[in-house]
């Protein structure tokens, strides 16, 4: 069918078209979309596009990762710190399937990606040709949209759609699979950005009556509590959220992906919710009278047992995605729309308020958590190093302005709990999918997108070895990321569960590790190992002061646990401190 009726594009700019190949068109489209860097790995079915990358190398920078998974995560890191669309490229077959973990991660964490894969010649489709795989079929459940191109003439419009879909509304990954014949044949090239698709309402318009109802409920609340998520960051609604919190005096907590939208030092920032979140916001979720959820999706790691989650509270849910409303938690008032717009409309309708006694309840419970957990994590008296004191040292040296890229596990929870966040888009981590191996490549993308920022990857010894090959990318590209491996010689989080719920049967969680410092040095990356507390401060200082990439291994206590903890299936109010 004629697609021009179903999408809207910018009015024609140039009256003339150029005759170019499909593969050149791919690169020209990327340049038109403002892509400066892409991450990928060449191979047979994508070679014509790589030939154009060679020709256009002054205009677009291709980063050769050491694995396609690394390319996908690097593109994610790029997108998460910049808000721009990350681009990854791979060949057909194994190249394409290796992208899948990163695509699935981007889907569940709403990260805008455009992934371009090569495909066998269209006449070979379905013939089990060399490196043929049905990547459109495989990626369908983990993409916001995907599409196969078999004709060169389709490339500009489909890529324009891809970028529009990836970035607009609730962002997500898009995969475009291009057969080799479409790459090598010619088309009349003209690029027009996509501005709308008739079957896709990217940003539902906020209904003023919903905002009014929300404002009335919030104004009547005695114990209101905000829980915000990544929607605030994706919607660039940080200032609007801050204004709402401050005007109505509402204590506000965050999900892992929402972290850094509001400074951790803000007096109304009451910390993180969820399985390893702070004691006060978890406990008081079941005490508040109005729970205002903003750009978050009530993930099971946030809510614990839904049957006992905030049952006493009225729920107001702000979200851009109508499918999130009532998905997990029944909402009393839903405000569907862009967070920035919705919160801006809410602000003038709110009464000024303070809720001092209610805020004091959070402070009191923070003291309980401080005495029982935090103090021991960041000012330990025992001999072994803790992950928490490493984070404290990083906070000191970076003044809480670094972007923290964490992997998955105990170190991730500690990083989220103890990192100071004074700049938005600073907590880059795999939240929904929990992808070990995310941090090292994501840190590469983050640093390249924001070279002016300090980017510190915090990784466990397990996850580090899942994509350790990306040290090669760091070396080749000279990306000055700081890599901290918190080494407890265990898959720490799994070990913690084995200790707590499987009677310490440590099945396959102990790691016999290589000499990480030697490995880093093999890639000509400056490296140091810390085993004693007295070495830590200087080592972190030296790392942050370095102008180059730097690897720091910190040997931490082997069997430390992360607390507080809401055991699976328990209520948020049953959060444990030990």
Partner 1 sequence: MSEEKKSYTISIYTENNIGLLNRVSAIFQRRHINIESLTTSQSEIEGVNRFVIVVNISESQAKKIVGQFEKQIEVIKAYYHTEDETIFTESCMFKIKSELLFEEPQIQNIIKESNTRIVTVNKEFFVLEKSGRRHEIEALRRDLNVFGIMQFVRSGRIAVTKDEMKITEMLAAFNN
Which of the residues are catalytic? Answer: 68, 130-131, 180, 493
Binding to partner 1 by residue 515, rule CB under 8 A?
no
Bridge-based pairing state of the strands 186-189 and 18-21: antiparallel
Does residue 429 contact residue 415 with C-beta atoms inside 8 Å? yes
| Residue in 125, 136, 359, 537 binding partner 1, rule: CB under 8 A | 136
Shortest CB 142 distance to partner 1, Å? 10
Q: Is 14 left (phi over 0), alpha (psi -120 to 50) or beta?
A: beta
Q: Which of 158/273 has CB closer to partner 1?
A: 158
Shortest CB 196 distance to partner 1, Å? 7
Count of CB atoms situated within 10 Å of the CB of 524: 13
Shortest CB 144 distance to partner 1, Å? 7
Shortest CB 469 distance to partner 1, Å? 32
Q: Which of 20/136 has CB closer to partner 1?
A: 136
């099971």: which residue's tokens? 300
Shortest CB 332 distance to partner 1, Å? 14
| 267 half-sphere exposure, CB direction, 13 A CA radius | 8
DSSP 8-state assignment for residue 415: H
Stretch that binds partner 1, among 137-145, 226-234, 361-369, 519-527 (CB under 8 A): 137-145
Binding to partner 1 by residue 197, rule CB under 8 A?
yes
**Nearest CA-CA partner of 320 in 229, 256, 250, 257:** 229
Q: Which of 57/140 has CB closer to partner 1?
A: 140
Residues that bind partner 1 (rule: CB under 8 A) add up to a total of 25
Shortest CB 140 distance to partner 1, Å? 5
Q: Which of 323/507 has CB closer to partner 1?
A: 323
Binding to partner 1 by residue 1, rule CB under 8 A?
yes
Does residue 486 contact residue 556 with C-beta atoms inside 8 Å? yes
Q: Which of 125/349 has CB closer to partner 1?
A: 125
Shortest CB 2 distance to partner 1, Å? 8
Q: What is the 3-class SS of 199-244, one letter each residue?
A: CECCCCCCCHHHHHHHHHHHHHCCCEEEEECCHHHHCCCHHHHHHH
**Nearest CA-CA partner of 229 in 299, 306, 284, 285:** 299
Q: Among residue numbers 299 through 328, which ones bind partner 1 (CB under 8 A)?
A: 321-323, 325-327
Instruction: State the chain's maximal CA–CA distance in angstroms.
Output: 73
Binding to partner 1 by residue 247, rule CB under 8 A?
no
| Residue in 91, 110, 148, 269 binding partner 1, rule: CB under 8 A | 148
Tell whether omega for the bond before 547 is within 30 degrees of 0, i.e. cis: no
Binding to partner 1 by residue 204, rule CB under 8 A?
no
| Residue in 135, 165, 294, 565 binding partner 1, rule: CB under 8 A | 165
Shortest CB 210 distance to partner 1, Å? 17
Q: Report the alpha-carbon distance of residue 121 to residue 141 in Å, rounded.
A: 24
Binding to partner 1 by residue 11, rule CB under 8 A?
no
DSSP secondary structure string for all residues of 130-185: TT---HHHHHGGG-SEEEEE-SGGGHHHHHHHHHHHHHSSS--EEEEEEEHHHHHS
Binding to partner 1 by residue 358, rule CB under 8 A?
no
Q: Which of 315/525 has CB closer to partner 1?
A: 315
Q: Which of 64/203 has CB closer to partner 1?
A: 203
Using alpha carbons, list the distances in angstroms from residue 387 to 76, 191, 220, 574.
25, 50, 42, 25
Distance of CA 276 to the CA centre of its chain: 18
Does residue 510 contact residue 461 with C-beta atoms inside 8 Å? no
DSSP 8-state assignment for residue 93: T
Binding to partner 1 by residue 126, rule CB under 8 A?
no
Binding to partner 1 by residue 578, rule CB under 8 A?
no
Binding to partner 1 by residue 145, rule CB under 8 A?
yes
Does residue 36 contact residue 60 with C-beta atoms inside 8 Å? yes
Chain positions contacting partner 1, by CB under 8 A: 1, 5-6, 8, 136-137, 140-141, 144-148, 165, 196-200, 321-323, 325-327
């Amino acid at each position: 069918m004629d697609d021009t009726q179903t999408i809207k594009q910018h009015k024609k700019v140039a009256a003339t078209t150029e005759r170019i190949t499909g593969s050149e068109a791919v690169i020209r489209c990327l340049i038109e979309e403002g892509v400066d860097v892409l991450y990928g790995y060449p191979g047979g079915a994508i070679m014509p596009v790589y030939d154009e990358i060679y020709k256009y190398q002054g205009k677009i920078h291709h980063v050769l990762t050491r694995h396609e998974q690394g390319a996908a995560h690097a593109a994610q890191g790029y997108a998460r710190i910049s808000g721009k669309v990350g681009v990854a490229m791979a060949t057909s077959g194994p190249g394409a399937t290796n992208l899948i973990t990163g695509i699935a991660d981007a889907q569940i964490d709403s990260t805008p990606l455009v992934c371009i894969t090569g495909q066998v010649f269209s006449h070979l489709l379905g013939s089990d040709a060399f490196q043929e795989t049905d990547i459109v079929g495989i990626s369908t459940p983990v993409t916001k949209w995907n599409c196969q191109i078999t004709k060169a003439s389709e490339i500009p419009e489909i890529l324009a759609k891809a970028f529009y879909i990836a970035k607009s509304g609730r962002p997500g990954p898009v995969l475009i699979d291009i057969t080799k014949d479409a790459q090598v044949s010619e088309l009349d090239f003209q690029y027009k950005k996509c501005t709308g698709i008739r079957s896709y309402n990217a940003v539902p318009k906020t209904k003023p009556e919903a905002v009014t109802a929300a404002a009335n409920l919030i104004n009547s609340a005695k114990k209101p509590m905000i829980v915000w998520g990544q929607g605030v960051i994706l919607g660039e609604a940080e200032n609007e959220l801050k204004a709402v919190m401050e005007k109505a005096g509402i204590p506000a907590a965050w999900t892992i992906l929402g972290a850094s939208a509001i400074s951790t030092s803000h007096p109304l920032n009451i910390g993180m919710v969820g399985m390893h979140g702070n004691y006060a916001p978890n406990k008081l979720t079941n005490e508040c009278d109005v729970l205002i959820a903003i750009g978050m999706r009530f993930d099971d790691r946030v809510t614990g047992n839904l049957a006992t989650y905030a049952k006493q509270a009225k729920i107001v849910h702000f979200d851009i995605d109508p499918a999130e409303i009532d998905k997990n938690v029944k909402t009393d008032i839903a405000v569907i729309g862009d967070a920035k717009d919705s919160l801006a409309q809410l602000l003038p309708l709110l009464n000024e308020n303070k809720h001092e006694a209610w805020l004091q309840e959070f402070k009191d419970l923070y003291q309980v958590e401080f005495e029982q957990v935090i103090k021991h994590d960041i000012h330990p008296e025992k001999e072994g190093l803790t992950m928490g004191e490493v984070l404290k040292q990083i906070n000191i040296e970076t003044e809480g302005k670094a972007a923290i890229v964490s992997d998955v596990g105990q170190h991730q929870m500690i990083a989220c709990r103890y990192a100071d966040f004074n700049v938005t888009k600073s907590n880059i981590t795999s939240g929904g999918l929990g992808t070990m191996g995310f941090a090292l490549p994501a840190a590469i993308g983050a640093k390249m997108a924001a070279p002016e920022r300090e980017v510190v990857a915090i990784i466990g010894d397990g996850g580090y070895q899942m994509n350790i090959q990306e040290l090669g990318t760091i070396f080749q590209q000279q990306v000055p990321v700081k890599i901290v491996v918190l080494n407890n010689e265990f898959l720490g989080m799994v070990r913690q569960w084995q200790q707590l719920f499987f009677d310490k049967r440590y099945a396959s969680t102990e790691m016999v590790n290589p000499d990480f410092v030697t490995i880093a040095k093999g890639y000509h990356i400056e490296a140091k190992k810390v085993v004693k507390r007295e070495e830590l401060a200087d080592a972190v200082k030296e790392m942050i002061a370095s102008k180059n990439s730097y690897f720091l291994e910190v040997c931490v206590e082997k069997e430390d646990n992360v607390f507080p903890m809401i055991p699976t299936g328990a209520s948020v109010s049953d959060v444990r401190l030990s």
